[in-house]
Structure 1
Amino acid sequence: MPVRAARRSTPAEAVAAIPDGVRCFVNATSGTPFGLLDELAAQAHRFRSLELVAGYLLRAPAPFALAEPDGPFRITTTQASGATRSLARAGVLRIVPAKYSDYAWLFSPPSPLACDVALVQVSAPGPEGRVSLGATVGAAVEVVRTASLVIGQVNPQMPYTFGEGELPLDAFDHLVEIDEPLAELPSATADEVTRRVAEHAAALVPDGATIQFGIGALPEAILGLLAERRGLRVHSGMIAGSCAELVARGAIEGDLVAAEVIGDRALLDWVHRNPRVRLVRASVSHGIAGLAAVEGLVGINSTVEVALDGSANSEIVNGEVISGPGGAPDYAFGAAHGILALPSTAAGGTVSRIVRRLEPPARTTIPGYLVDRVVTEHGVAALRGLPLRERAEVLAAIAAPAFRDALLAD
């Protein structure tokens, strides 16, 4: 890690150090430094073309309001979200599809998306004299090492997490103290269909499994049904709110290893200086070498739709980009067993989410040959090792009954 000045600066002083025409990495989820970005918007008059690059954002920062075709800011994301939807609709969002393991190199030289400036949020210094990247470590560590200018927003509301996100003060050019609420993701309430899907999926997770899980109400509902398991371990892209309960109930043993913490304030408080929680770089959490060493890894993810060959679209709904590949392709490839869960229908039961094929603009987030088991409220389709015709038959069997015949019609 390069030794830098560690200058204590005001927001205006730190942002004034950012030159025009560069690319800035903005840390995602609860690591987004909104105070710094407010100041960046306030200094918009200085910029003609400043690119902001981010992953999954939980809420839109101030510069997004100035993102116009001829405006001062260009916005690029590797994983669209609700926070970027208005930009996508306005045609001013650049999307770079990337799986999470790519984050280990994507934002650093010699990548075409290498970032000159890193804007991150960190905890207050701990007794060790270091700060922590807190809730969002996976993509940020390497960018902090390689960017020409690194600005850290020091926020006492950011939890201090142990692991690879612990950094010395001299890893930063500027440290700016801003006390503000973090972006949070409240727990979603599962409806009856989601609970039925979760029951089928949870039954596939044995005692002693190492679990990975994605974001959203469905993976969270599945986790909530694992409280009676024993010997579970966590190696995941994220730590979710249900993890705290599973630890308290004795279901999870050992450390919880992940790249990010995504949840509400209660979860952020739970991970603060929690010795059971270890956050790591993307190459460790999602890299194939690391996943290959994890015994009994079960990936638990949700998706938008699944075609009869098993291929899954997790990015497009009604022609609109709602997400990106994220970590799902990494765990589909690296996990010993994979669970891909979804309700069988959408739009009040009028649209089947088991489809004959993925039709453009739908994207193949996970190719069919990597999909192990697909789960709906109607049951489980085990695909691994099946010929294409039999795959189609078992997938049609877990579609809503009203659509089964049409799915298999020649």
Structure 2
Amino acid sequence: MKRNFQNKFVTPEAAALLAVRDGDWVDYGFGAGFPELMDKALAARKGKVRDVKIRGGLVIRPKIEVVEQDPEQISFTYYSWHIGDYERKLQTRGMVKFLPVMLRSLSYLYREKHIHCDVAFVPVSVPDGQGYCGLGISNYAWRTIFESARTVVFEINEHLPQLQGVDGSHRVHLSEADYIVEGEHEPLPQRIYREPSETDTQIARLVLDEIPDGAVLSLGVGGVPYTVAKMLAESDRKELGCHTGTISDAFLELWKAGKLTNRRKEVDSGYSTWNLAMGSQELYDWLNAEPQLFHPGDLDYVHSVERISQMSNVISINGGVEVDLMGQENGESAGIRQLSGIGGQLDFLEGAYRSKGGKGFVCLNATHKKKDGTLKSNIVPYIAGGSTVSAPRTMIQYVATEYGIAKLSGKTLRERAEAMVAISHPDFRDELLQYAQDNFF
């Protein structure tokens, strides 16, 4: 089948020369799927092109060459939808510009031309005998993006899982590319979980008690969601489901324990539904070996609040940076410094809120230690100026710390404040309560 498209196969260097022009917007995608060969080839054109703007997000691989090779930004400027660990280091050097976005809106923004893509570098799996490729570990909004692009480059990565999704939800065809490149890639980037802290374990134990049999789980990628999954795997819970933005080793743990069946889901019964995959090589091997277990879909499908709300007992578990006494959450910044992005958190918080029996949790340590060794409360009187209000008070249903769970829905401002004080660190309760008494009547 590749013979039928041989005229599209070029070297990465030729594709970078033919596809990218001065002033172009180039999309790299999102998460652990990354166009490694095209990134290196484009970086080699430093000084030969100008004002090329690259969009990506949540990159966890060792390097983004267009950034590393052009720190003065002579030719390239890099923009991120969601600051990952590596991008955070680049940001401190002034080499990343942040683009705030709620992920469920991203397809719409491309489709309706609020933003546009000139060139799409799409990582795909090895094609099958009919010329179809899987989108590997990052479905993202790729179809919407490349259908709106002037030029489409498929980069075949021999390490990507080859699943193609339910009814082709996760596949593309070689005929849809203008250029196709292939070559040797580094192993897929992995995200490995650290051992949970004592506080992670305390929070996870509290949240575990709120999860019923048959729950449909949306788990973030932090320590608490993973610890909840480990505890669920060892619990008496059964018939659990998955509908999540990012599938991770947390869900693999549940499947190995026989807990993840998806049988009770009203949508995608029998399938684990996800948009991105990020974790260990064992996770990627699982996706490749058991494609019949999964419904990978695009942002329009997976992050749809309406679709999420059609399922019962949706449990969304995410981390946060700080929450104020009214219930406003900062989930992504330290003052004006961007730490990550909101990603799909709002999508799943709202979906869980609207689900029959659903619950959305923001989980965070009650305190963090400052550089001088003193404690600072993560339950604050108000989100300070410069910091981000990632989720409004109207969206937050449950907040969990190691001291308990505050249920905020249906409460007055004063009642919310009192509930938040009750789950704060004891050393800060008096001053928080005083602020509540002075400001909420």
Tell me the distance in 2 between the aligned counterparts of 1:70 and 1:184: 28
Unaligned runs of 5+ in 1: none
Amino acid at match of 2:92: R
Which segment drifts farther, 61-70 or 282-291?
61-70
1:131 alignment partner, SS class: strand
The residue aligned with 1:195 is 201
The residue aligned with 1:166 is 171
Tell me the distance in 1 between the aligned counterparts of 2:132 and 2:73: 41
Unaligned runs of 5+ in 2: 262-269
Query: How far does the alpha carbon of each residue in 1:8-59 deviate from its partner, in whole angstroms, 9 at most, with x for none?
Result: 1111111111212100011122211112101111121221110001122113
Q: CA deviation at 1:400?
A: 0.8
1:90 paired with 2:93, answer yes
The residue aligned with 1:345 is 367
After the TM superposition, which residues 7-406 of structure 1 pair with which residues of structure 2 at under 5 Å, given as runs?
7-17=8-18, 18-59=20-61, 60-68=63-71, 70-111=73-114, 113-163=115-165, 164-180=169-185, 181-227=187-233, 228=235, 229-253=237-261, 254-273=270-289, 274-317=291-334, 319-335=336-352, 336=355, 337-347=359-369, 350-406=375-431
Query: How far does the alpha carbon of each residue in 1:99-123 deviate from its partner, in whole angstroms, 9 at most, with x for none?
Result: 1101222344512x21111112111
Q: CA deviation at 1:159?
A: 0.7
TM-score, with length taken from structure 2: 0.88
Q: CA deviation at 1:288?
A: 2.2
Tell me the distance in 1 between the aligned counterparts of 2:180 and 2:199: 47
More contact order relative to length (CA 8 Å, sep ≥ 6): 1
8 Å Cα contact 2:29/2:140 also seen in 1: no
8 Å Cα contact 1:300/1:341 also seen in 2: yes
Q: CA deviation at 1:385?
A: 0.8
Tell me the distance in 1 between the aligned counterparts of 2:92 and 2:329: 24
Tell me the distance in 2 between the aligned counterparts of 1:43 and 1:95: 24
8 Å Cα contact 1:6/1:170 also seen in 2: no
1:167 alignment partner, SS class: strand
2:421 alignment partner, SS class: helix
8 Å Cα contact 1:103/1:138 also seen in 2: no
Residues 1:190 and 1:318: Cα distance change in structure 2 (over 3 Å): farther
Tell me the distance in 2 between the aligned counterparts of 1:367 and 1:257: 27
Amino acid at match of 1:26: Y
Residues 1:356 and 1:153: Cα distance change in structure 2 (over 3 Å): same
Tell me the distance in 1 between the aligned counterparts of 2:285 and 2:199: 31
Q: CA deviation at 1:378?
A: 0.8
Percent of residue pairs identical: 28
Residues 1:69 and 1:371: Cα distance change in structure 2 (over 3 Å): same
Q: CA deviation at 1:78?
A: 1.3
TM-score, with length taken from structure 1: 0.95
Tell me the distance in 2 between the aligned counterparts of 1:315 and 1:8: 41
Q: CA deviation at 1:280?
A: 0.4
Residues 1:184 and 1:107: Cα distance change in structure 2 (over 3 Å): farther
8 Å Cα contact 2:127/2:134 also seen in 1: yes
The list of structure 1 runs, each at least 4 consecutive aligned residues, that deviate by more than 6 angstroms after superposition, is none
Amino acid at match of 1:271: L
Pairs aligned (count): 406
Pairwise CA RMSD of aligned residues?
A: 1.8
Which segment drifts farther, 378-387 or 244-253?
244-253
Which segment drifts farther, 320-329 or 53-62?
53-62
Tell me the distance in 2 between the aligned counterparts of 1:5 and 1:53: 29
